[in-house]
Chain A
Amino acid sequence: QKEVEQNSGPLSVPEGAIASLNCTYSDRGSQSFFWYRQYSGKSPELIMSIYSNGDKEDGRFTAQLNKASQYVSLLIRDSQPSDSATYLCAVNRPKVRGYNKLIFGAGTRLAVHP
């Protein structure tokens, strides 16, 4: 079992719809969670972070965290073609030898079509 699992996609949604991206993680002690967006040929760009159970909203993006279910999701409202990218879920593994370690999922490819 991978530490951080994501559906590889592609997830195809029409412009204006809500895109829902999901991620599960295996280490129950994980405390911080990040969503990065990566356009083709570019580097990962942080778009959301979440640390507590519940929802966190930032513009069109909402991150949701459920630690009991070891599940984190990202909702993108009013999806635009410019949102088409790969979305990487990253989980901060609890400290080993004094340091956190960020573990990435393989990413979900999102395609928003006009």
Chain B
Amino acid sequence: EAGVVQSPRYKIIEKKQPVAFWCNPISGHNTLYWYRQNLGQGPELLIRYENEEAVDDSQLPKDRFSAERLKGVDSTLKIQPAELGDSAVYLCASSFPSGAITDTQYFGPGTRLTVL
């Protein structure tokens, strides 16, 4: 079974440019998460989707970040305009939505973003 797929794996852009990341979750996983991981830190949740609905976007910097999950499968995270501080690894994860405490999140390979 295929895992979580993300693209691109690496992206280098200049500040003020836009950038977008794409994620395809594990088949059957209706819950999708976007995390940001800064160097030397653990992942921090940006947004969580249950199907098409964003149920937790409290940590998403909405002035420059946006996300969508049309049709409840693939998702796109966008930054416009990018700032130097946005350099990080952006991880997508998915889980089977039982709502139990045992729900396990599986991570994709991530996109390493460098903003110059």
Interface residues of A (CB under 8 A from B): 4, 8, 31-32, 34, 36, 42-46, 49, 51, 88, 90, 92, 96-102, 104-107
A99: which B residues are within 8 A, CB to CB?
A: 48, 50, 55-56, 99
Question: In the complex the two chains form, what is the Cα distance from A51 to B112 in whole Å?
Answer: 32
A101: which B residues are within 8 A, CB to CB?
A: 45, 48, 56
Is the contact region of chain B dominated by helix, strand, or loop, or is it mixed? loop
9-residue interface stretch from B13-21, B70-78, B79-87, B103-111 = B103-111
Interface residues of B (CB under 8 A from A): 40-45, 48, 50, 55-56, 91, 99, 101-110
CB within 8 Å for A104 and B101 given contacts A97-B55, A99-B55: no
Whether the pair B56, A106 counts as a contact (CB closer than 8 A) is: no
Question: In the complex the two chains form, what is the Cα distance from A44 to B3 in whole Å?
Answer: 13
Whether the pair A43, B40 counts as a contact (CB closer than 8 A) is: no
Question: In the complex the two chains form, what is the Cα distance from A89 to B108 in whole Å?
Answer: 18
Whether the pair A43, B42 counts as a contact (CB closer than 8 A) is: no
Whether the pair A106, B41 counts as a contact (CB closer than 8 A) is: yes
CB within 8 Å for A44 and B45 given contacts A97-B55, A106-B40: no
A43: which B residues are within 8 A, CB to CB?
A: 91, 107-110
